[in-house]
Chain A
Amino acid sequence: MIQVENLTRKFDQFTAVNDISFEVDSGEIFAFLGPNGAGKTTTIKMLTTLLRPTSGRIHLDGLDPWVKQRDARQRFGIVFQDPSLDNEQTALENMELHGILYHIPRRVRVERIEELLRLFELWERRNDYVKTFSGGMKRRLEIARGFLHTPKILFLDEPTLGLDPQSRNQLWTHVKNLNAKEKTTVFLTTHYMDEADRVAHRIAIMDHGAIVAIGTSAELKARTNTDSLEAAFLALTGTSLRDESASSTDNLRRFAQMWQQKR
């Protein structure tokens, strides 16, 4: 379903993703783990047509997303690391907008929106503005939205960041169920080892822009001679801390927070 060959992305002198290759099978839940700055998000951006690779090849469901861009985009859904909802519209309107952008015929759209909002327990709140939602509700709505156009692949970039254990647990249950029911291939990144251990069929561990290990949880543990995925992860990536510099988006966000407080 996803084939990546020798994918590389350089930013000036810095190589964020360095010659990685992997494959994800149809219907698989595939987790990408790695410390901050390992290149996970850069990889997802390249897979989802948001960032042009410096070199290398990508195929999504057999399509090169840089050649057949729109066809490829129709085939995947994505839940970004940062929220991407329209806060000034209601849950229902956010779903509608997505449905129209993804060419879902009206009748199917109406039915599927209801089905997904009910499944993610947001139906009662469908006419409320997203800005009134809690972090967990927003995430649920984004995931529901990601499934709306029945994508073949769903990308989840740290979808549980900042959620409480209950929300995390519930969210993965839904994702697992939909993966089983609709055969959606799921490509996720996370910092929570227990989540990856629980939901992912296979795991790739990335560090300094390269994939250092790939396999099932059991294989990774066996390979590093450890008894938990966390221990395996630390054995593979070391224990030193990683620094990331703030991006312009981070700065903008900080500025906006200050500005909003002033109002």
Chain B
Amino acid sequence: MGAIYIMWLREVKRYFRSKAQVIVSLGQPTLYLLALGFGFGPIFAKAGAGNYIQFMAPGVIGMTVLFSSIFSGMAMLWDRQFGFLKETLVAPVPRLNIIFGRTLGGATVATMQGLLMLAVCLIAGFRPVHQHAPGTPATHNWLAIPVALIFIAMIALVFAALGASVGSSIKDMQGFQVLMNFMVMPIFFLSGALFPLKNLGAVMTWITHADPLSYGIDGLRGVLIGNWQFNFGWQFNFMLDLGLLAALAAIFLGTSAWLFSRIEV
């Protein structure tokens, strides 16, 4: 337990100590929210799909959590580079505890980032709402926020564990760049963060449904602006989203633990 705690604490401390980075990492999602939100807003409304900012907000929150959590896992590259990794590799504790502590720490940090992004969205005009039926007026629903927190935390855990698996297996920056371009960006763009997953072509539907983040975004959006019939309410459903995320978290945690246990330096 001590090892899990101290590795978790290290990640959290690091977060609170790099305030500049906290702000910087919110920059990109905020830009997406404002530029795309206000830029595509009129077209989106014209298409009869409602307020694009409302639609985008859960997407950019998911984006923030995705990037933050996956990078926390990949930060293992830096620990490899600066040597600290070895200190933990020879410690007389199961490596499972080391990687769990790290991953939980990374997920905690990503969750906090997600909440900060939610605050940014609220400032930009986003409101969590509840709508009983299409066309009826939406009522503010602040109780959605604690439920959304569950999804934020689940997204954080899934991708912190995925990042840790990747961080345990790649050794250099080239590998990192490749993964960035061929894994993280596609996960984001094909997740339904920016567009509704309804009425897509067969291939696109298949791809978006294979993207783990789709379920996280769907859960967030369902909870935050949820309604059951509207165009961009739930694509899937609460239990499916949560269940799938939990299963993926377990699988990725297991994978990262296995890969981490095999590291030789």
Contact = CB atoms under 8 A, between A and B. Distances in A.
A binds B: yes
Interface of A: 45, 48-52, 70-71, 73-74, 78, 80, 82-89, 93, 96-98, 100-103, 248-249, 251-253, 255-256, 259
Interface stretch (B6-14, B61-69, B132-140): B6-14
Given A100-B5, A259-B173, 19 more contacts: A49-B90, A50-B89, A71-B92, A83-B83, A84-B87, A86-B79, A88-B17, A101-B3, A101-B92, A101-B93, A102-B91, A102-B92, A103-B2, A251-B172, A252-B77, A252-B81, A255-B172, A256-B81, A256-B173
A253 B2 contact: no
Contacts of B264: 45, 50-52
11 contacts: A73-B90, A86-B84, A100-B6, A101-B87, A101-B91, A102-B92, A249-B80, A249-B265, A252-B171, A252-B173, A256-B78
A196 B94 CA distance: 35
Contacts of B77: 252
A101 B88 contact: yes
A50 B94 contact: no
Contacts of A48: 90
Given A86-B10, A88-B17, A50 B81 contact: no
A80 B83 contact: yes
B82 interface: yes
B117 to A, nearest CB: 24
A103 B78 CA distance: 26
Q: Which 6 A-B pairs have the closest CB atoms?
A: A73-B92, A101-B91, A84-B83, A74-B92, A100-B6, A84-B87
Contacts of A259: 173
A100 B81 contact: no
Contacts of B94: 70
A148 to B, nearest CB: 12
Nearest to A155: B90
Nearest to A49: B90
Interface residues of B, number: 31
A52 to B, nearest CB: 7
**Which secondary structure dominates where chain B touches chain A?**
helix
A85 B83 contact: yes
A123 to B, nearest CB: 21
B90 A78 contact: yes
A80 B171 contact: no
Contact of B171 (A49, A84, A89, A249): A249
A150 B171 CA distance: 33
Interface string B12-54: 0110010000000000000000000000000000000000000
A98 to B, nearest CB: 7
Contacts of B172: 248, 251-252, 255
A98 B87 contact: yes
A110 to B, nearest CB: 15
A50 B86 contact: yes
A97 B264 CA distance: 22
A255 B265 CA distance: 18
A50 B90 contact: yes
A255 B5 CA distance: 32
Interface in B224-253: none
A101 B5 CA distance: 10
A78 B171 CA distance: 22
B171 A70 contact: no
Contacts of A50: 86, 89-90, 264-265
Contact of A83 (B82, B88, B173): B82
B2 A100 contact: yes
B153 to A, nearest CB: 24
Interface in B167-187: 171-173
A248 B171 contact: yes
Nearest to B171: A248
Contact of B265 (A51, A70, A253): A51
Contacts of A52: 264
